[in-house]
Amino acid sequence: MPTRPYVIEPMISAKAIAARVEALAREIHDEFAGTDKLIVVGLLRGSFVFIADLVRELDLPVEVDFIEASSYGNAMESSREVRILKDLRGEIQGRDVLVVEDIVDTGHTLRHVVGLLKARGPRKLRTIALLDKPSRREVDISADWIGFEIPDEFVVGYGIDFAQRNRNLDHIGKVRFTGEEG
Ligand code: IMP
Ligand code: MG
């Protein structure tokens, strides 16, 4: 994994995340109270820790499914192409769906996934993202719930990676490069 040397500086503590997840779960509970049709859909891979903590705070009958998307920059058209690498296992028609994302950055991924899933006719579809970088947005979309709004920093931990590493950090940290490549 050739990469420039870097350090990870703490940004959001495990304790702060846990408190926020608990508060978010209460709001989600109120939004979906009484339903027996809820499917929580995690976007792989970055949401896997968040979704695990979130569903354990949710006192509702819940199913869990996953979808994996990847987005590629297209420098020529200054656009991004989002591809589905792994689709849901289950049907969502007539169901209540909560899409769980790690970070909303440019917004292309979430917009694409929401469009795709809405076309399948869910009864209700809501979105939640642990982190939001509004200053990076390229398309007009926002999640219904946000854990934390953050500045334009590259972050890792709590499921979120840099070159596939650091997903296992229990908190969110920002990457600071300390030298040159090589
Ligand atoms: P978007 O389509 O630009 O909103 O891309 C969102 C995806 O980019 C997230 O799901 C992350 O996988 C990735 N991403 C965006 N910002 C960061 C970051 O700071 N650290 C790690 N991954 C990031
Ligand atoms: Mg992602």
52-77 residue pLDDT tens: 999 999 999 999 999 999 987 766 55
Q: Which ligand is nearest to the CA of 157?
A: 1
40: in domain: yes
152 is catalytic: no
Per-chain mean pLDDT for the chain: 95
- Could you tell me the two tokens for 128? 């939640």
Residue 178 domain-assigned?
no
Please choose, from the candidates 25, 32, 89, the residue with its C-alpha nearest in 3D space to the C-alpha of residue 61: 32
Predicted pLDDT of residue 167: 98
**What spacing in Å lies between the alpha carbon of 117 and ligand 1's midpoint?**
20
Radius of gyration over alpha carbons of the chain, in Å? 17
Q: From residue 144, give the alpha-carbon distance in Å to each of 21, 103, 110, 147.
A: 14, 13, 12, 10
Range of the domain at 139: 13-153
Q: Give the pLDDT score at 78.
A: 58
CB-proximal residues (5 Å) to ion ligand 2:
46
Does residue 83 fall inside a structural domain? Answer: yes
Q: Does residue 82 lie within any of the structural domains?
A: yes
pLDDT band for position 18 (cuts 50, 70, 90) = very high
- pLDDT grade for 104, boundaries at 50, 70 and 90: very high
| 154 close to ligand 1 (CB < 6 Angstrom) | yes
- The CATH number covering residue 122 comes to 3.40.50.2020
Q: Is 103 part of a structural domain of the chain?
A: yes
Q: Catalytic pick from 102, 105, 132, 140?
A: 105
In a domain, 39, yes or no: yes
Please check whether residue 180 lies inside any domain of the structure: no
Closest-CA residue, ligand 1 atom 8, reads 105
pLDDT at residue 76 in the model: 59
Q: Is 38 among the domain residues?
A: yes
Top pLDDT among 72 and 6 is at: 6
Ligand 1 mutation target, pool 8, 70, 103, most atoms within 8 A of CB: 103
Confidence class of residue 46 from pLDDT cuts 50, 70 and 90?
Answer: very high
For the CA of 102, the closest atom of ligand 1 is: 10
**Band of residue 82 on the pLDDT scale cut at 50, 70, 90:** very high
Q: Is 35 in the pocket of ligand 1 (CB under 6 A)?
A: no
Q: Does this model's pTM top 0.85?
A: yes
Q: Where are the beta strands (DSSP E) in the chain?
A: 6-12, 38-44, 62-74, 79-86, 96-104, 124-132, 145-149, 155-156, 172-177
Q: Is 132 in the pocket of ligand 1 (CB under 6 A)?
A: no
Average pLDDT over residues 160-181: 94
What is the number of domains present in the chain?
1
In this predicted model, what pLDDT tens digit does every residue of 110-146 receive, in sequence order? Answer: 999 999 999 999 999 999 999 999 999 999 999 999 9
Res. 171 pLDDT band, cuts 50 70 90: very high
Distance 36 CA to ligand 1 centre (A): 32
